[in-house]
Chains A and B, each alone.
Chain A
Amino acid sequence: MSARDAILAKLKGAAPDKAAADALLIAPERPAVDTGALEAEFLARLALPSVSASHDAIDTVADLPAAVARYLAAQGEPHTLCLPRDPRLSACDWSGFTLHEAAAPDEVATLAIARLGIAETGSLVFETAPQAPMLPNFLALHHIVLLAVEDIAAHLEDAPLVGAQPRAHYWITGVSGTTDIEGTYVRGAHGPRFLHVILLRGAVG
């Protein structure tokens, strides 16, 4: 008997009732979020010490390069950027920047578009796609994220995609941190040490 058959033979039983599984999700206990003030709620969570991300705001996507330049200059970093091949980003005027697509092991900064922001936790939601690699978002020292204000949702339950799933669906809530030595918090354990969110008042396009 294969291990599969042996395990399943011991677990024989009635198929789960979908209604019973769904009943377990009625009115879940979760932090309250003012749905009339999602941007303020999201920014409040973003500023918590556990998330400690900075933010800026722009009116149109065309303002993005200037906002990125402003951030990198303030950090004392060169205008060098890992930019995924996303038509919404390539449409901007990046003159003055040194751009590359693949992230180097010691990548300084990368830019990505979040599909959603979650007000409950200050999380940013991403999915892998041909125009959205995953590795740069974990490799770079500075993770810069574009998020449309209209894409801020209230709770984590708003994040999952319905239907076919991408290779990876991931939530980023702050910077890479560790408390592995004496419980003391240190930023930038393996991944980004800085997270900067650029809020877009208009649509991403």
Chain B
Amino acid sequence: MSGFTDRVDLALADRILKVAVERTAGTAEAKRAVAVDAFPDFEAARDRAAAIKDHVVAHLGAYLEQFEAKAIAAGAKVHWASTADEACRIVIDICKAAGAKSVARSKSMLGEEIGLPHALAEAGIGRVETDLAEHIIQLADERPSHIIWPAMHKTREQVSALFKAKHRSPHEEETIAAMAESARRELRTQMLGADVGISGANFLIADTGAVCTVTNEGNAELSLVPPRVHIVTAGIEKIVPSMPHAIHMLRMLARSATGATLTQYTTFYTGPKRADDRDGPEEMHIVLVDNGRTKMREEGLAEMLRCIRCGACMNHCVVFRQIGGHAYGGTYPGPMGAVLTPVFDGLKQSRELASACTLNGKCQEVCPVRIPLPTLLRGWREKSWREGLEPTSMRWGLGIWAWVARRPALYRFGTGVAVRVMQILGKKGWISRLPLAGGWTRYRDMPKPAPQTFMNQYKKGRRT
């Protein structure tokens, strides 16, 4: 059994996980629907958002150079990294040069993607995760299970137990508000005492050299203003031409992610503190990370570079809602993760992700930048077939099916037999156990098919 199917088995057997995922994703789905209904023309806005990103991806090199020049002019240092390891090395070197003992980190999926938490630990640099959910999973020594709600897999009872075990003065009252207050007490002094603040970027503004972060907690600002050094790690696709372009994307991001009209705190940082400023870092470093993105652009995945990491695709995915984020095994879960993970981990290790998709198209329907996720997932399936990565049983099975399907009389006979057998097995409209397909019916029932095959019904209809 492979790693993926093992993880799925574990996830499906975990009833608490199902409850936890459903609570947060269900709320997100409902809130997004309300926000989208209230927007004047969300469909046209999605077209515009996709067009802005396509324009940027088509001219990515020129926009990156413009951003770099503006950021340097504002006093920032710009670094470039082709790989995840290179990006981590740059960050660690900056931290060491600053004599940093501790860093405050504001949630960044790019940071997770390049393995920054691990690299900091290896370098012996203390790390304070300041986003509440990242703080929870740091205490639990786990990985994020969602890109917006990294601790979505945890129930309040589990969080309560964790805080009581790890916080210096934990909550006494068993409420979520009291738990959040406990984290506030715990994190505040650590944030204010950090030597370096590390963030990602939601957008990089080409014509000003600004880096935009959005949070609802205000933890980015509390992590990035007090330390002497601010380091940004950002994927090269985060560029937008100007602030007004960013504004359109911000409207889409907030509505798609949480159903809000705007995130509570939206900040544009341009360079380090000015001579007479009262606060802010003395150094600002921006690490521009490729890590497979130029390859995606060349090899048929340019549309995936539109992604603004809102999480709507996973909130609406029937598979994600059943198995949660950890089962996917990569940094990014859900439909967007199933497209991205083969880029980072290799198709051989992750080809099953594309198969674990019903192709119901819900992800594409809600994507604010209209990424054709089902099409991209089908692309991975085809590549996996072409490269001979599918297991022998699958190749044989499909081969036999194709042989039979090319012989209509045999095919009709076969389906006729199958329909009669399934009629016998089905009870009250559902089949709960199916010979030779136990894997399918282990976690769900199969709908009982119509009493006759389509061809039988079609022929009857034609006679009448």
Contacts and interface: CB of A to CB of B under 8 A. Distances in A.
Interface of A: 2-4, 6-8, 10-16, 20-21, 24-25, 28-32, 45, 50, 84-85, 105-106, 120-121, 123, 128-130, 132-135, 138-139, 156-157, 159-160, 165-184, 186-192
B247 A156 contact: yes
Contacts of A50: 260-261
Interface in B242-268: 242-245, 247-248, 250-251, 258, 260-268
Contacts of B39: 29, 31
B183 to A, nearest CB: 8
B320 interface: no
A174 B264 CA distance: 6
Contacts of B126: none
Interface of A is mostly: loop
Contacts of B245: 21, 24-25
B261 A181 contact: no
B9 interface: no
Contacts of B147: none
Nearest to B266: A171
B279 A133 contact: yes
B179 A32 contact: no
B236 interface: yes
A126 to B, nearest CB: 9
A130 B276 contact: yes
Contact of B55 (A15, A16, A31, A172): A16
Instruction: Report, nearest first, the 8 A-B pairs whose CB atoms are least far apart.
Output: A11-B61, A191-B218, A133-B278, A183-B24, A130-B276, A16-B59, A180-B133, A4-B80
B40 A32 contact: yes
B156 A181 contact: yes
Interface residues of B, number: 102
Contacts of A7: 61, 64, 80, 82, 236, 288, 290, 294
Interface stretch (B221-229, B355-363, B373-381): B221-229
B29 to A, nearest CB: 11
B216 A169 contact: no
Interface stretch (B43-51, B422-430, B445-453): B43-51
Contacts of B279: 128, 133-135
B203 interface: no
B189 A169 contact: no
B187 to A, nearest CB: 7
Contacts of B242: 21
B280 to A, nearest CB: 5
Contacts of B38: 31
Contact of B226 (A120, A128, A135, A175): A135
A163 to B, nearest CB: 9
Contacts of B250: 156
Given A167-B269, A176-B265, 5 more contacts: A7-B290, A29-B39, A128-B274, A160-B243, A182-B24
Nearest to B68: A4
B180 A189 contact: yes
Contacts of B297: 10-11
Contacts of B132: 178, 180-181, 189-190
Contacts of B156: 181-182, 184
A2 B340 CA distance: 25
A24 B222 CA distance: 34
A170 B28 contact: no
B59 to A, nearest CB: 4
Interface string B54-71: 010011111111000000
Contacts of B131: 180
B121 interface: no
Given A121-B261, A129-B277, A180-B131, A191 B221 contact: yes
A186 to B, nearest CB: 4
Contacts of A11: 60-61, 64, 294, 297
Nearest to B90: A3
A165 B276 CA distance: 15
Contacts of B42: 29
Instruction: Name, among A10, A29, A187, A188, the residue most crowded by chain B CB atoms within 10 Å (CB to CB).
Output: A29
Given A186-B177, A188-B184, A181 B151 contact: yes
A50 B180 CA distance: 18
Contacts of B272: 167
A11 to B, nearest CB: 3
A134 B280 contact: yes
Interface in B129-176: 130-133, 136, 149-152, 154-156, 159, 176
Nearest to A137: B221
Nearest to B278: A133
A179 B148 CA distance: 10
Contacts of B267: 168-171
B63 A16 contact: yes
Given A167-B277, A167-B280, A190-B218, A16 B62 contact: yes
A170 B248 contact: no
B337 interface: no
Given A11-B61, A24-B55, A165-B208, A190 B188 contact: yes
Contacts of B159: 181
Contact of B217 (A106, A121, A177): A177
A14 B218 contact: no
B265 A21 contact: no
A152 to B, nearest CB: 16
Contacts of A32: 40
B445 to A, nearest CB: 29
Nearest to A50: B260
Nearest to B250: A156
Contact of A8 (B23, B65, B221): B65
Contacts of A167: 269-274, 277, 280
A173 B154 CA distance: 28
